[in-house]
C-alpha cells in the first residue's frame, strides 16, 4: 500500500510538473545554443582559468617588475617568460617558461596541448620539468582542460623564443609522470564547497608554494599548506605564509569575508601600482585576486577543512 501511495504521489507530481511547464513555455522549446556561442563560452571559461585560477599566463608572459607581485605586462600574454626559474625557486638549473601562442605552437593539435598541460610531455616527446604543474593539472576536469586549450589558441601569435633549459640533474631523477586520463576527471558540484574548493586549490597549485619541502625536495604533506619556503632573489626575500586553519600562525582567525578582502585588496590598482620596496612577492595577487567570489569562498571553505599546523612565518625580514 505504501509503495502504491508513493507511486501515485510521484505520478501526480510528475503530471503537475508537466502541466505547469506546458503552461509556462507556451509550447516553445528552449533555444539551442549555437556552435559559435558554445565555443565562445568555452573560450571565456578558458580565459578565466588561464588568467585567474590555473594562472598559465603568470609564467608564460613577460613580467612588469615595476608593480607589486610582478603581473604580466599587457601585450605579452603567452609569449614566454622574461626570466628563468632557478635557485630562488629551489630548481637545480634554469627553466624558461616558453612561448605558448599559436605563433610557436601552430603545428600543435588539441591533443598535443592536452598532453603537455596534463601529462608533462611536449609534442617532441620531451619531459617537461615539473615547475610546470602538470601533476596538478592532471587532475583538471576535461571540460576545463579543453577550455584552457581553446583560449590559448586565441592568443595573438608571436614568434618570440626563450633560451633552452639548463638542468643540473638527469631527467631520470624526476618523479614518474602522472597518469594521462583527463576524461576520468569530473569537476565537483559547486555547491559542495569543500570538494569544489579542493579542486580549485589543486589546479591553482596553491600547495606548490604553501607546502614545505623535505630535504629530498619532495613535499612534506604532513605539513601541507603550512608555508615556510623562502624565495631568495637579488631584489627581495620572502617566506611563504601558513594558510592552514591554525588560529595562532595560520588563517584560523580569519573570517570568510576577511579572506576575500585580502585577495581583492592585494589585486587593487592602489596596491599593485604602489612601491613596496623589498616587500615584494611572487604570489600572483593581480591574477588570483580577480577570481570569482564564489570560487574564493570555496577555497576558503576547503582550507578551513585541512589539518591546522602550527608554523609561525616571518614573511619579510624586519
pLDDT tens profile 151-188: 999 999 999 999 999 999 888 888 899 999 999 999 99
Cβ atoms of 248 and 312 within 8 Å: the answer is yes
Distant-in-sequence, close-in-space partners of 88: CB < 8 Å, separation ≥ 6: 231, 232, 233
Q: Which residue has the cell 582559468?
A: 49
* Whether pLDDT at 87 is above 90: no
| Residue 122, all three cell numbers | 611536449
How far does CA 128 lie from the centroid of its chain? 18
Higher pLDDT, 24 or 234: 234
Cβ atoms of 223 and 304 within 8 Å: the answer is no
| Residue 169, all three cell numbers | 640533474
This model's pTM is above 0.75: yes
How far does CA 17 lie from the centroid of its chain? 41
* Whether pLDDT at 284 is above 90: yes
| Residue 39, all three cell numbers | 565555443
Residue 175, number of CB atoms within 10 A of its CB: 10
pLDDT in tens, 107-145: 999 999 999 999 999 999 999 999 999 999 999 999 999
| Residue 145, all three cell numbers | 582542460
Q: Tell me, what's the pLDDT at 70?
A: 95
Residue 171, number of CB atoms within 10 A of its CB: 10
DSSP assignment of 15-74 equals HHHHHHHHHHHTTPPPPPPPHHHHHHHHHHHHHHHHHHTS-HHHHSS-B-TTSTT-PBPT
Amino acid at each position: 500500500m505504501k509503495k502504491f501511495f508513493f507511486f501515485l504521489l510521484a505520478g501526480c507530481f510528475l503530471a503537475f510538473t508537466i502541466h505547469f511547464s506546458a503552461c509556462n513555455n507556451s509550447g516553445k522549446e528552449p533555444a539551442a545554443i549555437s556552435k559559435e556561442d558554445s565555443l565562445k563560452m568555452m573560450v571565456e571559461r578558458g580565459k578565466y582559468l588561464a588568467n585567474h585560477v590555473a594562472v598559465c599566463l603568470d609564467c608564460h608572459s613577460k613580467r612588469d617588475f615595476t608593480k607589486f607581485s610582478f603581473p604580466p605586462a599587457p601585450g605579452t600574454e603567452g609569449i614566454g617568460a622574461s626570466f628563468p626559474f632557478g635557485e630562488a625557486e629551489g630548481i637545480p638549473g634554469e627553466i624558461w617558461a616558453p612561448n605558448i601562442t599559436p605563433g610557436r605552437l601552430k603545428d600543435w593539435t588539441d591533443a598535443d596541448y592536452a598532453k603537455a598541460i596534463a601529462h608533462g610531455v611536449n609534442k617532441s616527446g620531451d619531459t617537461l620539468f615539473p615547475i610546470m604543474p602538470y601533476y596538478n593539472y592532471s587532475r583538471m576536469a576535461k571540460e576545463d582542460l579543453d577550455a584552457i586549450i581553446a583560449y590559448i589558441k586565441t592568443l595573438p601569435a608571436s614568434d618570440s623564443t626563450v633560451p633552452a633549459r639548463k638542468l643540473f640533474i638527469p631527467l631520470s631523477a624526476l618523479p614518474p609522470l602522472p597518469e594521462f586520463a583527463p576524461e576520468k576527471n569530473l569537476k565537483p558540484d559547486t555547491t559542495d564547497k569543500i570538494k569544489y574548493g579542493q579542486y580549485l586549490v589543486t589546479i591553482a597549485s596553491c600547495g606548490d608554494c604553501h607546502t614545505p619541502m623535505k630535504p629530498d625536495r619532495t613535499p612534506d604533506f604532513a605539513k601541507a599548506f603550512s608555508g615556510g619556503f623562502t624565495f631568495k632573489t637579488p631584489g627581495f626575500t620572502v617566506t611563504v605564509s601558513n594558510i592552514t586553519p591554525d588560529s595562532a600562525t595560520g588563517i584560523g582567525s580569519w573570517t570568510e569575508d576577511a579572506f576575500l578582502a585580502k585577495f581583492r585588496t592585494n589585486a587593487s590598482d592602489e596596491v599593485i601600482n604602489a612601491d613596496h620596496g623589498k616587500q615584494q612577492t611572487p604570489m600572483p595577487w593581480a591574477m588570483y585576486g580577480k577570481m570569482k567570489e564564489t570560487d574564493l569562498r570555496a577555497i576558503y571553505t576547503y582550507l578551513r577543512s585541512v589539518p591546522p599546523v602550527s608554523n609561525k612565518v616571518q614573511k619579510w625580514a624586519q
